[in-house]
Amino acid sequence: MRRRTPPPPAPLPQRDGVDPVRVRLPVDGAWATVREHLVERLTGAGPGTVESMFAAGQVIDADGRAVPPDAPYRPGMYVWFHRELPAEVPVPFPVEVVYRDEHIVVADKPHFLATTPRGSHVAQTALARLRHELGLPTLTAAHRLDRLTAGLVLFTVRPGERGAYQTLFRDRRVGKEYEAVAPYDPSLTLPRTVRSRIVKERGVPAAREVPGEPNAETRVELAGHRGGLGRYRLLPATGQTHQLRVHLAALGVPILGDPLYPEVTAPVPAGDFRRPLQLLARRLEFTDPVTGTHHTFTSGRELSAWTSYTDWPGESGPRG
């Protein structure tokens, strides 16, 4: 089997913790120039955007030189440029560093902050912030948390070691414990293990359970209850998209603040941080594949619906 040649290193530095965009020109193509291909490829950039990038010398080749507007198309050629960052409402909560050594960084992510750049969330992500704040341009995420979920995320410092840490998650050698606040149902028998088949279709906000061989497993325990609310301890054995949210909703106790389960609700205005999803990645435990050290990390965050439920706006439910 022929091994693919890795791309050359980026000739542009990061900007605000965000990598430059790398584009490899397709092997098959009838474009006369690099500019023509990028105009067709970057249709969402807006009229005249690509032409302006070339005029300003912002499209760079592997040697660090500006690509001229009339540069001929070369199949397989790499070019780099910085995207125009979308307007983002700053998430006004810090990313706390729980642990740091020469191999890993463990961060305690707040609600509303994406883990890595995706879609309209680019600079306002935990990865971009940590790269900038810690001065670690090579930092990468070993796994991800949903943007609305708070808690512990593992990042790797050295690119060559990232695969070893990702393998921990792939092989289920990481102990993960979550905490959620949801309605209390005295008729719900707990603890129990929930198994189901979950599918998440591209472009559809919510995942769903379907008949078939289970691919998602969660142990659900009740850690306490008061005033009609339950505090749940969740131990996922798998990592399907929105798994914990789907499973609790299926049990009839959807997580407070969830805009997708059991029903998709209208999006809140940008900058409305009043009702965070009451889901927290509380604990991570694993043996470091590089150093052999056994780590156990615990989030210092608390779920506001449990600690100060009366502060939740527009809620007329139980008090506790």
User: What CA–CA distances, in Å, run from 308 to 44, 175, 229, 286, 315?
Assistant: 43, 29, 12, 32, 12
**Which is nearest to 105 in space by CA: 79, 131, 124, 72?**
131
What letters, b where the CB count within 10 A reaches 16 and e where it falls short, cover 200-213?
Answer: eeeeeebbebeeee
Integer Cα distance of 274 and 288 in angstroms: 37
Q: How far does Cα 192 stand from its chain's mean position? A: 28
Confidence at residue 284, expressed as pLDDT on a 0 to 100 scale: 97
Enclosing H/E stretch for 39: helix 34-41
pLDDT one-digit tens code per residue, 160-175: 999 999 999 999 999 9
Cα dihedral 209, 214, 219, 220 in deg (nearest 10): 20
Integer Cα distance of 60 and 56 in angstroms: 11
**Which is nearest to 188 in space by CA: 213, 158, 222?**
222
Residue type, 144: R
Confidence at residue 319, expressed as pLDDT on a 0 to 100 scale: 33
Confidence at residue 271, expressed as pLDDT on a 0 to 100 scale: 85
Q: By the 8 A CB rule, do 179 and 304 touch?
A: no
pLDDT in tens, the chain (320 residues): 456 678 888 888 888 888 888 999 998 878 999 999 998 888 776 778 888 899 999 998 999 999 999 999 999 999 999 888 778 889 999 999 999 999 999 999 999 999 998 777 778 999 999 999 999 999 999 999 999 999 999 999 999 999 999 999 999 999 999 999 999 999 999 999 999 999 999 889 999 999 999 999 999 999 999 989 999 999 999 999 999 999 999 999 999 999 999 999 888 888 889 899 999 999 999 999 999 999 999 999 999 999 887 766 544 333 33
Residue type, 81: F
Confidence at residue 3, expressed as pLDDT on a 0 to 100 scale: 61
Confidence at residue 316, expressed as pLDDT on a 0 to 100 scale: 37
User: Which DSSP string corresponds to 202-252?
Assistant: TT-SS-EEESSS--EEEEEEEEEEETTEEEEEEEESS--TTHHHHHHHHTT
Integer Cα distance of 121 and 145 in angstroms: 14
Integer Cα distance of 151 and 108 in angstroms: 5
Residue type, 83: R
Q: By the 8 A CB rule, do 179 and 244 touch?
A: no
Q: Is the peptide bond before 183 cis (omega within 30 degrees of 0)?
A: no
**Which is nearest to 218 in space by CA: 227, 209, 226?**
209
Q: By the 8 A CB rule, do 250 and 206 touch?
A: no
